[in-house]
Amino acid sequence: MQVVLLEDVKALGKKGEIVKVNDGYARNFILPKKLGIEANAKNLNDLKLQKANEEKLAAERLEQAKELAKKLEAASVTVSIKAGEGGRAFGSVSSKEIAKAISDQLGLEIDKKKLALPEPLKTFGTHAVPVKLHKDVTGKLSVKVVEG
């Protein structure tokens, strides 16, 4: 029996592949666990339509990420931290604080995990913080750290 895999199956194949398996293996393992479906004309057509819809959604997400990257590059966020002796920064600014500032000042909801901050900001001034919006799109946000 030929089966179209809906998931990766160890020692059999990857998602989307059409593989030939024994009838019993397909009936007792692949089909009941929803790891694959029988490769007939109707199922193949349904999978083609589903793939086309997924590609369309992926393209829309990419466009939205590009638009958001343009908005972020044009925007700036100000975060204040305490200053110690001699104007030195006391503490640091983490990605959590930057995400909250984006939410408060720009009205955009960006997850703190998307901020690719290698280490917390410990100096005053303007810093460019990369924001990973999509696997292919990374925007730069200008973060101004001021004495509070």
**3-class SS letters over 110-130:** CCHHHECCCCCECCCEEEEEE
pLDDT tens-digit readout, 69-82: 999 899 999 999 88
pLDDT at 57 over 90: yes
Stretch (H or E) spanning 12: none
Burial (CB count <10 Å: 0-12, 13-18, 19+), residue 66 = middle
User: What does the alpha-carbon distance between residue 148 and residue 134 come to, in Å, rounded to a whole number?
Assistant: 33
pLDDT of residue 33: 95
pLDDT of residue 122: 87
Q: Which domains are seen in the chain, by residue range?
A: 2-61 (3.40.5.10), 64-147 (3.10.430.100)
pTM above 0.95, yes or no: no
pLDDT of residue 60: 95
pLDDT of residue 147: 87
